[in-house]
Structures are given as C-alpha cells and as structure tokens.
Structure 1
C-alpha cells in the first residue's frame, strides 16, 4: 500500500501533520481584524456613557446613583441571555449570531439619544445587554473551532485588545464629538455620540455575516491540506481536554463556577475603570472634556500593548496560572494606588496604567485556561456560563455609584474592588491548579 507523505512534507504543516505557524498566521489575518472591529464597537457602544455621563447628568438631571443603576442594567440583560445565545450559536452558526447581535445592539445604542427619564435609560441599557448577550462568549467559542489550546492565549489577546483599544475611541473621538457637535441641529453632544457610535455596528454585523467562514472546512482561502492540518491540531487539543459533557454536567461542574467568580472579579475591576476613570481624571482638576478623553487614552493604549505581549509570552512558555496571578496582582495594586494618589493627575495616570495593564493582560490568560477545561461538546454552555457569571460584575456599577453618592469619593469602592480581585486571584491560584490536568483528574475520579 502506498503511504501518503504529503502532509509530512507540506511546509504548512509540522512533523505531526498539524497546522504550522504559517497556516495560523493566515487564519489570524483573515479572522481577527474583523472580529477585533466588532468587539471594539461592542465596547464603544457599551462604555461610551462613561464620557456621555459628563453631559447627560447636567442635561437630564441624573444622579450618580441613577447612572450606576443604568450601567448595571446592561449586565443584567447579558446575564439572562448569554447562555441561550451561545447554545443557539451551536444550532444556527456564528455568522447569523453575530449579524443578529450587531444589528440589534447598534440600533439600540443609537436609540439612547431619545432618553429623557431614568426609566427610559434603564430600559434601553437593559435591552442593549439583551442584544449584546452572547457576542463575547460566542467569539471565544468560534475561536476554539480554529485554534488548539496551545495557541489560544495570543489570539484571544489580539481579539481582546479591542476592549482596551476602545478607549482610543471613547477617549479622544467621543470627547471630540461631545465638544464639537454639542447643540448642532438641536441635539446635545451626547446625543450625537449615541448616533455616530451606534450605527457603524450595523454595518460591521453585515460585513461579518458576508466575510467570516463558519469553520475551517468553509474557508475557501485554505487549501485542503491546510484544512486537514487544522483538523489534526484541533483533534489533538480535544484529546487533551476533559471528556465530552452534557449540559447538566457542565452546570454541576464546580470548576465552571470558580472560573466564573474569577472573571466576575476581573469584570468588577474592569467596569470600575471603564465607567469611572473619566470622572476620576476630571476630579484632579481637568475641566476640558476633550482633555479628559485624551488622558483616558493613555492607560488603554499601554494596556493593549501589554495584553498582546503577555499573551504571546504565556503561549511561548506554555504556562498559564502564574502568568494570570502576576498580571491580576499588578491590577489590584493599581486600583489601590488610584485611591491613594487620587489627588494628582500624574498619580492617577500612573496608577491607572498599572491597573489597566495588569487586568488587561490577565484576561487572555484566563480564557486560555477556561477553554482548556471544556471539550468541544461542553464549550458552548461552559464558556457562556462562565461569561454570564462574569457579567454579574456589571451590577457593581450600581454599588460604586451609591458609594460615591453617599461618600463623595470612590476610594472605598476602589479598595473593595481591589480586595475582590485578590479573592479571584486566590481562587484561581489554589482551587484551579495546573490548568486542564487537574480538571481531567477530577472528572476521571
């Protein structure tokens, strides 16, 4: 019998017949830029009320408590619909799911310009969460269709840089819109902000539907040899994860809830920085909104760079747990430093850079750990459940708003969120050990 040796000699495969760096470079170039833009707009639409708040509160008379409740309503919507959306993705595919999500969230974000009462604000923020639900875990699930676990930290980092890079938009761009378009054609600057940052999501959703292939088998720009090599790599990754689990077993898996608590802690810290950093900067004496936005860019820009470099380092060394611990610890220390140095602009910027770089760098490592615990059969439910628990962190915005309303300061909130982040670090360090190896042992006993 003649043995086919083409896979072994093919430059786009390694000695085992798995896809090489060249193949994955091609895949990344085709998928990640568009997914990056989609996620960037998700964060812009979700978080632009951080700067819009500086005008909305004056125009509409909303208190910090109202603003905090509205910010929390978004995450309640995500919490309720994250799991159903990801389960639906397995049935209808990623392209239709992304199209549905982006069309609805773009329209809802733009509709925020009509808000005049707290109730309207609450309802629209809740609907924005409902419609965005499933996007992030859906993309993480989609990436597992393409990348084995040993390559995931770097690609998740590239995708998630959109979260940090969104600050580049919600900072200078949003600040410029607020300042330059205020009272143009009878609309306030914050109303223009909602229109101009909401509608591009609709166009990106259509583009994603037309451009993204569902799986490697649907990618016409991959040769059959490349497709086979990717399948080999994914088959090896599947064999190294826990056994296939039905939904009920995923729901009973304690590791899923421990991972959920860790991402809840990360999310609480992230939301505090996203929603309140402009106010913290303004409190140092910066009155020009455009300048506030520009200063807010600095931590996000450095956080983006740190995330990519750190994710690559974790993949290269094939170590996850201590990479996460170090990064998240730097983030917690940064939050404490913001409270201690809140009186000076230089102090706030240095502390927020440490917090943002640490927290941003921890995220792709966390998801590389989480996706390795879950086989392809368990991934849709497991990723969505972990993400849903993390979405609960959005309710911390109401707590932070209430603390500031009663104390006139964010210091107490910063200390509380830092302590919560430390708790998440301890959970992952001592309860989630040795990445997937412990999970396999636990599920085999």
Structure 2
C-alpha cells in the first residue's frame, strides 16, 4: 500500500522509504487528530441537551466554545518550542493524557461559568498539539511530499465529522438517563478518555525523528537524515532562517497567519454549529442529525487528498491555496442563500468544508520551507496561535448574530467574507508572489 504519489519522487528507492515512513506514522497521527478534533467540537452536539440543563444561551455557548482557543493560543508557542527541545514523544504524550482527563471532566459542569473555565483549561491542555504535529512532519517528510502528509493527517478533521457526528448523536440518544447521567454527560466521558489512553501509547510508539528509528534499516535512516539535512541547507541558502526572531518578522509567515485565521473561522464556525444548522433544516432525531452532519466532512475527505497530491506533484502552492479559499467562501454563501432548502444547503456546506480543509493541506506545506530549526517551531506555532483565534471569534460571532437577528445563515455570510480575505492573503505571500520557485525546495523530479 502506497500513501504518497510516485510523481513526487525522483526514484523508486525514495518513494519506497518515504511510503514506509508514511505507513508507520500517518495512520497513527490521523487517529490522534480524530480524537483531538472530536474533543474540541463535540460540545456542539452536547449543546443540544446541556443548554437547558445548565442555562446556556446561544451567545454564552458561542463564547464558551470559542474560549477554548484563548487558552490554546496563550500556550501554543512555548509548547511547540518545548517539543522541539525535549522531543515529540514525551511532549505529545503529555498533551494527550492531560487533555483527555479534562475533556472527560466536562461532564461535571453545572453552570455557564464552569463551562467557560473548563473550556479554557481544555485549550491550555491541548496547546501545541496541532503545530507540534506539523513540526513533527518536517522531521520525517521532504517538502515535496509534505502536503500529502498534511492531507492524511487533516483527514482527522473530516473523519471526526464522518464518524464523530453519528457517534455523538447515538451516545446522547442511547445513554441518556443511565446511572442518572444525561446524554451530554455520557458524551464527554466516552469521547474524552480515549485521548488519555492513546497518550500513553504515544510514548511507546512514536520516535522523536529519523536517525535511530528501529523500524527503518541503517541505510534508510541515513538516507532520510541526509536528504532532510540537504533540504534544510538549501532552504537556508534561499533565505529561510533558523533564528527564533525570524518567525516574527517574515512577511510570508504573516500572510499565512491571515490565511489560516480565515480558513479556521470558516471551518470551526461550521463545525461547532453544524448540529444546529442541520436541526434547523427540520431534522429531529439526534442520530439522524449526526448522519446528515457527516456528509460535508465525507466529501471534504476525498477532495483534500486529491488537491494535496496535485499540489505536491506540480509543486504549485499559491493558486491551489487561493482557489481553495475561494471555493470555501462560495460554499458558505451558497449554503446561506439556500438555507431553507436542505439539499442545496448541504451542497454548499460540503463545498465550504472541502475548500477549507484542502486549503489547510496546501498552507501547512509552506512554513517548514520559509523557516527552519527553532524559527520553524516558533513560526508554525505562531501561525497556529493567531489563526486559532478564528476558532474563538467565529463561534462567538455566529452565536451573537443568531441571538440578535434570529437568523443563523447571516453568520455564514460573514464567514464567507472572512474566507475571501484569506484568499487575498495567500496570493500576497511574497516568496510565492515573486514567482521565485528556487525559494521552494523542489522535488528532485521537478528540480
């Protein structure tokens, strides 16, 4: 089985080695991200029951859903620097064990204030997971295969929607009342504890990087280390810096920050409110709500893999990323305009999620090329930190708009405008805008 396309590599030896790496780590990282994303957004399903139990208004829910990202963003850069210094195996394990326990503890909240506090602490606990995974991939994959690696990892978002939405609905519907607990309490418990269990597995399964990986031969370890080191030197020769402060002054990084912010506004805005959007279409059963909510994520999982492979094969990032943003914005506007038609609205949401998730795969292939070393760790975390504020802004904004106007679809129009902003930002990345292809470390096949 080959996960990475042959067209991204010069010879069969490299193709074989990097596919061996991909098969070893990508399925595992994918499972971790399914759990992580599900623990972030399952509160959207919990809202359908817990709002009445703890007195949570739409605007209060939006604030609580988003406050997660304040804690997340405050700790993201130091967390990623720590991962780079002490190793991924221990740090990722630490993150997962703590966040799993806190996620399960959400079952004990009884007031809006407790809801806010627990969401904030959950963000602090999970800080560094996503940028840590992005940084970890730069340890294993060359730039010309990195977009594909990010696609398989980001499939966790789509699969969390495909599997998680029906699962969340089934848990809440099936377990409600057992042992005196509400369905939403069972939801947090059942979906929270797997993160802690997998955190323990991480410590024994992941390697900190190539060089001493026992599942690679000595020749394969040396080949990977040599190629990635050559790529790092070429990146630095073409202007990529390894100094910490470079992460904060690189114009390309700031363009990627704006693009990531815009894409996350759309992705999280839809993810947190998807159950409510589907319910507004007239669906009553929680399980059926979950099945319908999974459709946009299922479509997105196919599109994102195709786009990432095409972007890697052609070594083109600028227009792939820009057009993904435009497609996402168009899907959001289409869904909002046809909000009273279930079929057309779902088509729009499917296009929006496809464009958003495919855009992430293209975007996250770039930071490791623009920066290296400690600067890359800080730059990746900076992009995630500020970008994830979109995860705070969009749920709160949609909740405020819905409460103020009574129309959830108005919030989708605003998200569409923000996503278009991301398209212009992607176009403005200086290193891509100048057409300087030497700045991108190309695959040997295209060099």
* TM-score bracket relative to the smaller structure: over 0.9
Q: CA deviation at 1:128?
A: 0.6
Matched, 1:135 2:129: yes
TM-score (normalizing by structure 1): 0.93
Aligned to 1:398: 396
Aligned to 1:411: 409
Deviates more, 1:144-153 or 1:162-171: 162-171
* Structure 2 CA distance for aligned equivalents of residues 78 and 269 of structure 1: 18
Partner of 2:373: 376
C-alpha distance in 1 between matches for 2:94 and 2:297: 29
CA offset at residue 16 of structure 1?
8.4
Summarize deviations over 1:155-202 as a string: whole Å, max 9, x none. Answer: 110011001110123211110001011111100000000000000001
In structure 1, what is the Cα distance between the partners aligned to 2:128 and 2:217? 31
Alpha-carbon deviation of 1:281? 1.1
Query: Does residue 40 of the first structure (1) align with residue 8 of the second (2)?
Result: no
Secondary structure of 1:280's aligned partner: helix
Q: CA deviation at 1:360?
A: 1.1
Give the Å deviation of 1:357: 1.0
- State the TM-score, normalizing by the size of structure 2: 0.92
The equivalent of 1:85 in structure 2 is 79
- How many residues are aligned here? 429
Q: Tell me if the contact between 1:137 and 1:387 (Cα under 8 Å) persists in the aligned partners.
A: yes
| 1:59 CA drift (Å) | 1.9
Q: Which runs of 5+ in 2 are unaligned?
A: 1-7, 440-447
The answer to whether the 8 A contact 1:18-1:229 is kept is no
The answer (yes or no) to whether the contact 1:76–1:395 under 8 Å persists in 2 is yes
Unmatched runs of 5 consecutive residues or more in structure 1: 1-13
Following TM superposition, by how much is the alpha carbon of 1:212 offset from its aligned partner in structure 2, in angstroms? 0.7
Q: Which residue of 2 aligns with 1:256?
A: 253
Q: What is the aligned counterpart of 2:315 among 309, 314, 318? A: 318
Q: Give the Cα–Cα distance (whole angstroms) in 1 for the partners of residues 34 and 123 of structure 2.
A: 16
Shift of 1:19: 5.7
The answer to whether the Cα contact below 8 Å between 2:323 and 2:423 also exists between their aligned partners in 1 is no
Instruction: Quickly say closer, same or farther: Cα 1:319–1:113, change in 2 above 3 A.
Output: same
RMSD: 2.0
Q: Distance in 2 between matches of 1:85 and 1:19?
A: 35
Residue 377 of structure 1 deviates from its aligned partner by: 3.7
Q: Distance in 1 between matches of 2:417 and 2:72?
A: 25
2:252–2:431 Cα contact (<8 Å) kept: no
Q: Report the CA distance shift for 1:65/1:341 in structure 2 as closer, same or farther (over 3 A).
A: same
- Counterpart CA distance in 2 for 1:233 and 1:409 is 54
Structure 2 Cα separation of the partners of residues 440 and 335 of structure 1: 36
In the alignment, does 2:203 pair up with 1:209? yes
What does 1:8-87 correspond to in 2, within 5 Å? 20-87=14-81
1:436 and 1:24, CA in 2 relative to 1: closer, same or farther beyond 3 A?
Answer: farther
Query: Counterparts of 1:282-301 in structure 2 under 5 Å?
Result: 282-301=279-298
- 1:18–1:384 Cα change, 3 Å: farther
CA distance in 1 between counterparts of 2:131 and 2:435 reads: 23
CA contact (8 A) 2:68 2:121 kept: yes
Distance 2:247 2:356 in 1: 27
State the alpha-carbon separation in 2 of the partners of residues 432 and 279 from structure 1: 40
For 1:5, the equivalent position in structure 2 comes to none
Is contact 1:17-1:232 (8 Å) kept?
A: no
| Displacement after TM superposition at 1:236 (Å) | 2.9
Paired residue secondary structure (2:364): helix
Other-structure match for 1:428: 426
Q: In the TM superposition, what is the alpha-carbon distance from 1:418 to its structure 2 partner?
A: 0.8
Q: Which moved more, 1:26-35 or 1:16-25?
A: 16-25
In 2 relative to 1, CA 436–290 (structure 1 residues): closer, same or farther, beyond 3 Å? farther
Look up the match of 2:112: 118
Following TM superposition, where does structure 1 have runs of at least 4 consecutive aligned residues deviating by more than 6 angstroms?
14-18
Does the C-alpha gap of structure 1 residues 327 and 15 become closer, same or farther in structure 2, counting only changes over 3 Å? closer
